[in-house]
A and B are shown apart, each in its own frame.
Chain A
Amino acid sequence: MLPGNPGKQDRGLVWALGAGATFGTMARIERGEVERIADLARLELAPDEAERMTAELEAILAYVESLRAIETDSVEPTYHAIPLATPLRDDRAAAVLSAERVVANAPERDGFAFVVPKVLDEDEA
């Protein structure tokens, strides 16, 4: 016995947003905000890219706004789906990668050290 009838359907966005969800408060991302986020993520966006990303992010965030309405005050977050005891490792030094292998994939190296362009100031990276 199957629930519902196969019939006229409303697919896509409307279903996925769930009963009662609305686009109510559209998430608004300031242009500067996207730039700040891109900076945090060390991504460079061309101006048209930034504009497009902003619009896409806004759409996605509008979509996730539907979660706000759900009552979760007394609900604990699930960070790990399957409960597990803390795994611990015995304190024993074991073989490491040879230094040669450590730097084998390096785009730039000097002996066994990685080389990177100079950091202009202590913080800027």
Chain B
Amino acid sequence: MPFESVVELRAALDAGRTCALELAEAALARAEAARGLGAFLRLRPEGARAEAAESDARRARGERLSPLDGVPLAIKDNLIQEGEPCGCASRILEGFVAPYQGTPVARLLAAGAVILGRTNMDEFAMGSSTENSARGPTRNPWDAERVPGGSSGGSAAAVAVGIVPGALGSDTGGSIRQPASLSGVVGLKPTYGRVSRYGLVAFASSLDQVGPLARSALDCALLLEAIAGHDPADSTSLPDPVPRYRDALSGDVRGLRIGLPREFFEERSAADPAVLACVREALGELERAGAELRAVGLPHAQHAIATYYLIATAEASSNLARYDGVRFGRRAAAASLGEMYRRTRSQGFGPEVKRRILLGTYVLSAGYYDAYYRKAMKIRTLLRRDFEAAFADCDVLASPTSPEVAFRIGEKSKDPLRMYLSDIYTVSANLAGVPAISLPCGFAHALPVGLQLLGRPLDEATLLRAADAYQRRTDWHLRRPGAAP
């Protein structure tokens, strides 16, 4: 039963039309059939069957079950699951099996979900196309010659072709939202600190968040409910209680004030006009549903990419220092310790990772720290203030998720700077810590276009409500790629 949502699968399970084991087997079969897509790095049939069997047993015992119980899901390869290899699509972590449980996965398992396997990604989440994976790229389900987006490309593709109804990804500068946009699914980056990062392999600690990808806002809401909430193991985790997001999906957006940052929509905007047209049409739909559109300014948004790349690479250069061949992962043969470090890291990391480590090291090094890192942190403050001012008059902000539709594999990989600009609309949310969602809103050049909505801190409910309201009135999110099995 591909393409059923989490909600539909649960209904089928509850009605006895199927069982968790059957769902798992079907998902595994679809995953096998879609091997060419490159969405999964690793399936775990035995583990999935065991989890499915436990779910069926719980149901048989009449226990109270969460909405995810028995539902097969996928997780990105940078999420720690105890007893499973965790590779981050990198050579340097070859052979590493996690000896502890990460919180996001723990919560999925506690909710009874069945973890089908680990999805492809850009190495260490650094990229916007999933081309930087050490295991080869994932293909866009709508056009196999194109990228699915990144870095959570595998998760987006797995959901887009209906292997699983939902998946977890991670978002540091747009890595959930942009692949969701390019692959035609829904992707949510929660407020910074809403979901625990304990068990998320760190890329940029002050920007990273774990979030759901699915085909509907409601499914995203259910996934978010399961994983969100305070974690004493994460010092940056927010203590605020987690609302029942599904209860917010009233379908009603009357009076919802949607701000359109003029920097994103003006004449000189970076976006493909066809993409903009889709987005404008989607906003028109919301307006017809009762929302109010208004212009706002995010004057510092134009500096977001530069700011992001200074902060993210600096933090990454430090976070990736632990990959040294001493305690886990791959180690290169060497006669001395120094040689071991250099060879291990040089052979183990791909070029994009190396590039970012170098840039980050440079940004933090003596003599440059104030001009680059500290400066970027100050721009970040200005950006936060921009958002605060905008949210004084608006409930959500809107933009295209990506300036363009899915590009060809290999088209941008020669020019890192061009690749970085894919994140133009998404990085601001990570810098300001605000939640943001991407939802399918049409097609341009026969490829999916995503509408991005940004919300106030901890206001995922409004984002999900708006997305759900849109999805009640449109059917873009129900379209299926031809490449699906």
A touches B in complex, CB < 8 A: yes
Q: Are B375 and A78 in contact (CB under 8 A)?
A: no
Q: Are A6 and B273 in contact (CB under 8 A)?
A: yes
Q: Are B267 and A4 in contact (CB under 8 A)?
A: yes
Q: Are B358 and A37 in contact (CB under 8 A)?
A: yes
Q: Kindly state whether residue B374 has any CB partner on chain A within 8 Å.
A: yes
Nearest CB in chain A: distance from B88 CB, A: 14
Interface string of B333-369 (1 = CB under 8 A from A): 0111111111101100101001101110110010000
Q: Are B382 and A120 in contact (CB under 8 A)?
A: no
With known contacts A37-B361, A67-B379, A72-B379, A2–B283 Cβ distance under 8 A? yes
Using Cβ atoms and an 8 Å threshold, which residues of chain B touch A120?
Answer: 336-338
With known contacts A3-B266, A105-B329, A81–B337 Cβ distance under 8 A? no
Q: Are B328 and A105 in contact (CB under 8 A)?
A: yes
- 430-456 of chain B: CB within 8 A of chain A: 431-433
Q: Kindly state whether residue B377 has any CB partner on chain A within 8 Å.
A: yes
Which of B103-111, B161-169, B221-229, B415-423 lies at the interface with chain A? B415-423
Chain B residues bordering chain A, tally (CB within 8 A): 96
Q: Kindly state whether residue A93 has any CB partner on chain B within 8 Å.
A: no
Using Cβ atoms and an 8 Å threshold, which residues of chain A touch B380?
Answer: 77-78, 81
Q: Are A57 and B277 in contact (CB under 8 A)?
A: no
Q: Kindly state whether residue B179 has any CB partner on chain A within 8 Å.
A: no
With known contacts A10-B268, A16-B305, A3–B381 Cβ distance under 8 A? no
Lowest 6 CB-CB distances: which A-B pairs, in order? A81-B433, A77-B377, A105-B328, A18-B302, A107-B331, A4-B266
Give residues in A with beta carbon < 8 Å to B: 1-19, 29, 33-34, 37-38, 40-45, 49, 53, 56-57, 59-61, 63-64, 66-68, 70, 72, 75-82, 84, 87, 89, 97, 101-108, 114, 116-120, 124-125
| 12 new A-B contacts at CB < 8 Å, known A60-B309, A67-B310, A114-B327 | A3-B265, A9-B268, A10-B268, A18-B302, A75-B382, A80-B236, A82-B457, A102-B99, A103-B327, A107-B328, A117-B336, A125-B337
Give residues in B with beta carbon < 8 Å to A: 95-97, 99-100, 191-193, 206, 232, 235-239, 260, 262, 265-273, 276-277, 280, 283, 293-295, 300, 302-303, 305-307, 309-310, 317, 321, 324-331, 334-343, 345-346, 349, 351, 354-355, 357-359, 361-362, 365, 371-372, 374-382, 384, 403, 416-418, 420-421, 424, 431-433, 457
